[in-house]
Amino acid sequence: MTNIDAKAVGSLRTRTGVSMMMCKKALEEAGGDEEKAIEILRKNGASAAAKKAERDQSEGSVFSASSDGKAAIVRIDCETDFVARDDNFKALGQELADTLLSGGLEKAQAAVDEKIPALVQKLGENITLGKMELAEAAVSGVYVHSNGKIGVAIGLSGGSEDLAKDIAMHAAAMNPLYVLPEEVSEEELNKEREIWKDQLAAEGKPAEIMDKIMAGKEKKFREENALTTQEFVKEPGKLVGELLGDASIVKYVRIAV
């Protein structure tokens, strides 16, 4: 018989709302495969919640909490915007962010395993944890957009909380994929290089200047996709990196629905 650990049982319970004992039994029968376990629960008529686990989750909200150099950010996923705006849903999201901030990832996960199945039963939708991250640094700041769909946590080696919040707000608006331009992956660059080559060929650019043009495009692409080399949204003409002074960005987390 497959050895099923508590984490696997908790994950299935979070998705289905079925009792721990029934989840463990289904997982054992499915050899540890969570999707097969859901099918087993459905076939056994264990709970309508098992059917909810297969429904798409295109909505949700982001929640945050911050204090003393730490910033917590959590995304909870659901099926409809109606549930995302429900007071019970929002209360749980904030509770999880607060728990993550004060107790760390382990306590937050325990709260997820305990509280989300009950909310699934109460609100009648497939509700799951989308993502949660904890930023810890000398200075941290967090920003969640007014619609609750985008959140950013920033950790700095120095500076102020207001600076960290400003950079988080910028990142929410501009969606940088990296912190530094040199972090842009070769895989991403190779995709872009193929596009640039086709564009330049179509424009009939002379072969002797192609390398120079390609280098310029690569530099621009790196700078546009890196947080520190983007123009600060609140002060056009000034780069985010220039705001930092002697500080550096040690943690960048962006979560969106």
Is 48 exposed, middle or buried, given 0-12, 13-18 or 19+ CB atoms closer than 10 A? middle
Fold match between 6-52 and 59-179+227-256? no
User: What confidence tens digit (pLDDT) does each residue in 145-203 have?
Assistant: 988 999 999 999 998 999 999 999 999 999 999 999 999 888 888 888 888 887 877 77
Name, in order, each residue with C-beta under 8 angstroms of 125's C-beta and a sequence gap of 6 or more.
Answer: 52, 55, 78, 79, 80, 83
Is 135:74 a contact under the CB 8 Å cutoff?
Answer: no
User: What confidence tens digit (pLDDT) does each residue in 122-157 have?
Assistant: 887 888 888 999 989 999 999 999 889 999 999 999
Q: Where are the domains of the chain?
A: 6-52, 59-179+227-256, 185-224
* pLDDT given for residue 193 in this prediction: 85
* pLDDT given for residue 189 in this prediction: 86
Banded model confidence at residue 118, pLDDT cuts 50, 70, 90: confident
Tell which CATH classification among 3.40.190.10, 3.30.70.260, 3.40.50.720, 3.30.479.20 matches the domain 59-179+227-256. 3.30.479.20
* pLDDT given for residue 52 in this prediction: 60
Tell which CATH classification among 1.20.1250.20, 2.50.20.10, 3.90.420.10, 1.10.8.10 matches the domain 6-52. 1.10.8.10
| CA 192 – CA 187 distance, rounded (Å) | 9
Give the DSSP letter string of the chain: -PPPPHHHHHHHHHHH---HHHHHHHHHHTTT-HHHHHHHHHHTT--THHHHTTS---EEEEEEEEETTEEEEEEEEES-HHHHT-HHHHHHHHHHHHHHHHHHHHHHHHHHHHHHHHHHHHH-S--EEEEEEEEESSEEEEEE-TTSSEEEEEEESSS-HHHHHHHHHHHHHH--SBSSGGGS-HHHHHHHHHHHHHHHHHHT--HHHHHHHHHHHHHHHHHHTBGGGSBPTTSTTSBHHHHHTT--EEEEEEEE-
Buried b (16+ CB within 10 A) or exposed e, 6-39: eebbbbbbbbbbbeeebbbbbbbbbeeebeebbe
Banded model confidence at residue 51, pLDDT cuts 50, 70, 90: low
User: What confidence tens digit (pLDDT) does each residue in 63-114 have?
Assistant: 999 988 899 999 999 988 899 999 999 999 999 999 999 999 889 988 888 8
Identify any residues that bridge with 73 across adjacent strands, giving them in sequence order: 64, 133
Question: Hey, what are 217's tokens?
Answer: 């495009």
| CA 121 – CA 52 distance, rounded (Å) | 10
Q: Is the pLDDT of residue 1 over 70?
A: no
Q: Is the pLDDT of residue 217 over 60?
A: yes
Banded model confidence at residue 117, pLDDT cuts 50, 70, 90: confident
| CA 138 – CA 92 distance, rounded (Å) | 28
